Structure 1
């Protein structure tokens, strides 16, 4: 006579919950955390109360779905609200100091940014070639494709523009 394996179903529910928590630690999106909670609440909870296997699976699915569509969005919103906006890539270049490495001719030259990158540069409107010399510190006003638009560090600029080609 074969043993009734449904009496060991609680081990499966615990193992599944642990697996979901491990996956959640790798993804950090609260999806698998909600699945783990649904597994524990619906599956293991129903098992411990003596429910049949089909009810355990059904309640685990329902609990997981409810958590995914109600609690997860609230958690993600709270998480994103508390973290500051960090500019990255070319967006982070606007406002960065730079040093002129090649003299400007007809408004075009070259600068080395404080992050170590060398960029082709254009002068902002109203600034002439003679106003900016090699070695002078300037400020990135905007990113225009593969070139930065710069202004002398002493001139106040408020424009923050990034144009992608």
Structure 2
């Protein structure tokens, strides 16, 4: 599991991704309101798999569900993202759902390298790369690289993505 701080920072990266997707889909709404709200929903979704486990209605605020079970189920978050993406432009709240799902998926991706893993389909799967809280900088860097690539595609028409691809092709041809 990534640290709480890493989940917050990667949630912001998920917000950039969600806002770019909503904008690119033409579902931004007047004054880009749905773009902004999808960003906010993604920031909240970046920590949601953890806070959804807490019994907020009880005084002790204990977990009502075992950690990394239903709230960390990858298929559920991906299903929400697909469903809401398909409804962008048809239902205004779809942008909020997509943002929330993007944040949740980013949370799972940040937890995946941990030995405890994430239940993507049925059982847990782990990349088993490092223990909790270690290498948060790598998780954050990868999240923000993904956010920049999606942002570049949606708003800058792949100007920077194309340059990176050309650079790698040039490196391959020279070796």
Structure ranking higher on relative contact order (CA contacts 8 Å, 6+ apart): 2
TM-score bracket, shorter-length normalisation:
under 0.3
Higher fraction of strand: 1
User: Of Structure 1 and Structure 2, which has the larger fraction of its residues in helix?
Assistant: 2
Larger Rg: 1
Give TM-score scaled by structure 1 length.
0.28
